[in-house]
């Protein structure tokens, strides 16, 4: 089975990795943006499925797909910027140790 990816970049597994890392250390912003990208992927698939149904209003579903296609690149760029600004390892999508420590300290303190 091949890994599904969002049309412009991050795979669902990568997004889930970001969510897992972010939630462990209570760093919600990367997780929220990753969840949004997963939801956009799910909505895209839903619209694709609806377009295959001949009784569906094709114009409605096409318009939704167009809107998703317009916003997805910006949301993915935003996620990349967030991860870069926070110093995440873009190869492994691991949160940097200093940010992990800061998050733990904030929770403890």
Please state the domain extents for the chain.
12-93
Closest residue by Cα to residue 73 from 40, 26, 101, 102: 40
DSSP designation for 9: S
pTM score over 0.85: no
Would you write out the chain's pLDDT as a tens digit for each of its 109 residues? Answer: 334 444 458 999 999 999 998 887 777 889 999 999 999 999 988 888 887 766 668 888 888 989 999 999 999 999 999 999 999 999 999 988 888 777 777 666 6
Written as one string, the DSSP assignment of 15-59 is HHHHHHHHHHTT-HHHHHHHHHHHHHHHHHHHHHHHHHSTTS-HH
Residues in the chain: 109
DSSP-assigned beta bridge partners for residue 94: 89
């Amino acid at each position: 089975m091949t890994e599904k990816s969002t049309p412009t970049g991050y795979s669902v597994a990568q997004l889930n990795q970001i969510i897992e890392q972010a939630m462990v250390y209570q760093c919600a912003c990367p997780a929220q943006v990753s969840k949004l990208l997963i939801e956009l992927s799910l909505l895209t698939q839903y619209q694709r499925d609806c377009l295959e149904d001949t009784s569906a209003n094709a114009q409605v579903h096409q318009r939704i797909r167009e809107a998703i296609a317009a916003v997805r690149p910006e949301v993915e760029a935003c996620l990349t910027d967030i991860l870069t600004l926070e110093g995440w390892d873009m190869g492994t999508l691991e949160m940097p140790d200093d940010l992990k420590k800061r998050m733990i300290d904030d929770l403890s303190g």
